[in-house]
Homo-oligomer: A and B are copies of this chain.
Amino acid sequence: MKPYIHRVHYYETDRMGVTHHSNYIRMMEEARVDYMAQLGWPYARMEASGVLSPVTALNVKYIAPTTFDDQVQINVRVKAFNGVTLVMAYEMLRLGGEAPVTVLTGESEHVFLNGEGRFVRLKREQPDFWQQLTELAEKV
Protein backbone atom coordinates (compact mmCIF):
# COMPACT_ATOMS: atom_id res chain seq x y z
CA MET A 1 0.00 0.00 0.00
CA LYS A 2 1.22 3.45 -0.93
CA PRO A 3 0.95 5.85 2.02
CA TYR A 4 -1.22 8.92 1.51
CA ILE A 5 0.39 12.36 1.61
CA HIS A 6 -1.53 15.45 2.66
CA ARG A 7 0.07 18.85 2.28
CA VAL A 8 -1.34 21.23 4.89
CA HIS A 9 -3.30 24.10 3.38
CA TYR A 10 -3.22 27.65 4.71
CA TYR A 11 -6.94 27.50 5.51
CA GLU A 12 -6.37 24.44 7.70
CA THR A 13 -4.27 26.40 10.19
CA ASP A 14 -5.69 28.35 13.09
CA ARG A 15 -4.76 31.35 15.17
CA MET A 16 -2.40 29.26 17.30
CA GLY A 17 -0.32 28.97 14.10
CA VAL A 18 -0.86 25.23 13.67
CA THR A 19 -3.22 22.87 11.86
CA HIS A 20 -6.59 22.95 13.63
CA HIS A 21 -7.24 19.64 15.38
CA SER A 22 -10.53 19.07 13.53
CA ASN A 23 -8.72 18.98 10.20
CA TYR A 24 -6.87 15.77 11.07
CA ILE A 25 -10.26 14.04 11.20
CA ARG A 26 -10.73 15.11 7.58
CA MET A 27 -7.24 13.90 6.66
CA MET A 28 -8.13 10.52 8.17
CA GLU A 29 -11.08 10.39 5.79
CA GLU A 30 -8.92 11.37 2.80
CA ALA A 31 -6.42 8.64 3.63
CA ARG A 32 -9.16 6.05 4.21
CA VAL A 33 -10.78 6.82 0.86
CA ASP A 34 -7.38 6.49 -0.82
CA TYR A 35 -6.71 3.20 1.00
CA MET A 36 -10.07 1.77 -0.10
CA ALA A 37 -9.37 2.83 -3.70
CA GLN A 38 -6.02 1.04 -3.53
CA LEU A 39 -7.85 -2.07 -2.25
CA GLY A 40 -9.97 -1.92 -5.40
CA TRP A 41 -12.91 -0.16 -3.76
CA PRO A 42 -12.92 3.39 -5.05
CA TYR A 43 -15.86 5.42 -3.91
CA ALA A 44 -17.72 5.06 -7.23
CA ARG A 45 -17.70 1.26 -6.87
CA MET A 46 -18.86 1.39 -3.25
CA GLU A 47 -21.63 3.78 -4.17
CA ALA A 48 -22.71 1.68 -7.16
CA SER A 49 -22.99 -1.30 -4.79
CA GLY A 50 -25.27 0.80 -2.56
CA VAL A 51 -23.11 0.46 0.55
CA LEU A 52 -22.34 3.36 2.89
CA SER A 53 -19.86 3.12 5.76
CA PRO A 54 -20.43 5.98 8.19
CA VAL A 55 -18.06 6.67 11.05
CA THR A 56 -19.46 5.40 14.35
CA ALA A 57 -16.52 6.25 16.61
CA LEU A 58 -13.22 8.12 16.64
CA ASN A 59 -10.24 7.87 18.91
CA VAL A 60 -7.31 10.18 18.36
CA LYS A 61 -4.08 11.11 20.13
CA TYR A 62 -2.43 14.36 19.07
CA ILE A 63 1.32 14.03 19.51
CA ALA A 64 3.04 16.82 17.56
CA PRO A 65 1.71 19.80 15.61
CA THR A 66 1.95 20.55 11.91
CA THR A 67 1.46 23.78 10.06
CA PHE A 68 0.99 25.28 6.61
CA ASP A 69 2.92 23.58 3.83
CA ASP A 70 3.98 20.62 5.98
CA GLN A 71 3.83 17.26 4.28
CA VAL A 72 1.94 14.72 6.36
CA GLN A 73 2.31 11.05 5.51
CA ILE A 74 -0.69 9.00 6.61
CA ASN A 75 -0.32 5.27 7.06
CA VAL A 76 -3.61 3.40 7.19
CA ARG A 77 -4.37 -0.18 8.14
CA VAL A 78 -7.30 -2.41 8.99
CA LYS A 79 -7.08 -2.98 12.71
CA ALA A 80 -10.15 -5.12 13.27
CA PHE A 81 -13.09 -6.47 11.32
CA ASN A 82 -15.74 -8.82 12.61
CA GLY A 83 -18.03 -8.75 9.60
CA VAL A 84 -20.12 -5.94 11.00
CA THR A 85 -17.78 -3.38 12.52
CA LEU A 86 -14.58 -2.22 10.83
CA VAL A 87 -11.81 -0.48 12.77
CA MET A 88 -9.22 1.43 10.77
CA ALA A 89 -5.97 2.65 12.35
CA TYR A 90 -3.97 5.70 11.29
CA GLU A 91 -0.48 6.96 11.90
CA MET A 92 0.49 10.42 10.69
CA LEU A 93 4.11 11.48 10.21
CA ARG A 94 5.43 14.94 9.49
CA LEU A 95 8.03 14.70 6.75
CA GLY A 96 10.73 17.14 5.73
CA GLY A 97 12.88 17.27 8.86
CA GLU A 98 15.87 15.08 9.56
CA ALA A 99 13.57 12.26 10.59
CA PRO A 100 9.81 11.85 10.36
CA VAL A 101 7.95 13.03 13.46
CA THR A 102 4.83 11.23 14.68
CA VAL A 103 1.99 13.72 14.59
CA LEU A 104 -1.04 11.62 15.45
CA THR A 105 -2.23 8.11 16.03
CA GLY A 106 -5.89 7.30 15.78
CA GLU A 107 -8.68 4.92 14.94
CA SER A 108 -12.04 5.19 13.27
CA GLU A 109 -14.86 2.69 13.60
CA HIS A 110 -17.35 2.05 10.80
CA VAL A 111 -20.43 0.02 10.05
CA PHE A 112 -21.88 -0.85 6.65
CA LEU A 113 -25.34 0.36 5.76
CA ASN A 114 -27.52 0.26 2.68
CA GLY A 115 -29.41 3.25 1.31
CA GLU A 116 -32.26 2.71 3.78
CA GLY A 117 -29.87 2.83 6.73
CA ARG A 118 -30.04 -0.92 7.45
CA PHE A 119 -26.99 -3.02 8.25
CA VAL A 120 -25.54 -4.73 5.21
CA ARG A 121 -24.43 -8.36 5.60
CA LEU A 122 -21.11 -7.79 3.88
CA LYS A 123 -20.19 -11.48 3.80
CA ARG A 124 -23.23 -12.22 1.68
CA GLU A 125 -23.61 -9.02 -0.30
CA GLN A 126 -19.96 -8.13 -0.98
CA PRO A 127 -18.08 -11.37 -0.30
CA ASP A 128 -14.88 -10.19 -2.05
CA PHE A 129 -14.69 -7.07 0.07
CA TRP A 130 -15.54 -9.08 3.19
CA GLN A 131 -12.71 -11.48 2.33
CA GLN A 132 -10.19 -8.68 1.83
CA LEU A 133 -11.08 -6.92 5.08
CA THR A 134 -10.97 -10.19 6.99
CA GLU A 135 -7.50 -10.98 5.67
CA LEU A 136 -6.21 -7.47 6.27
CA ALA A 137 -7.43 -7.31 9.85
CA GLU A 138 -4.50 -7.65 12.19
CA LYS A 139 -4.21 -10.95 13.94
CA VAL A 140 -4.27 -10.51 17.68
| A interface, CB within 8 angstroms of B | 9-11, 13-18, 20-23, 25-26, 29-30, 33, 42-44, 52, 54-62, 65, 67-69
A13 to B14, CA, bound (A): 5
Cβ-defined partner of A59 (8 Å) among B9, B15, B58: B58
- Find chain B residues with CB under 8 A from A62 CB: 54-58
Q: Is the interface of A mostly helix, strand, loop or mixed?
A: mixed
Which of B15, B22, B57 makes the CB contact (< 8 A) with A22?
B22
Measured CA separation A29–B60 after assembly (Å): 15
Give the CA-CA distance A81 to B42 in the complex, in Å. Answer: 43
Shortest Cβ distance from A47 into B: residue: B68
CB nearest neighbor in B for A113: B16
> A56 and B67 in contact (CB under 8 A), knowing A10-B15, A29-B9?
no
**Chain B, Cβ-Cβ closest to A57:** B61
Which of chain B's residues have a CB closer than 8 A to the CB of A14? 10-11, 13-15
Set of chain B residues within 8 Å of A16, measured between Cβ atoms = 52, 54
**Is A21 a contact of B15 with CB atoms below 8 Å?**
no
CA distance in complex: A44, B52 (Å): 25
Shortest distance in angstroms between A16's beta carbon and chain B's nearest beta carbon? Answer: 6
Residue of B nearest to A32 (CB): B10
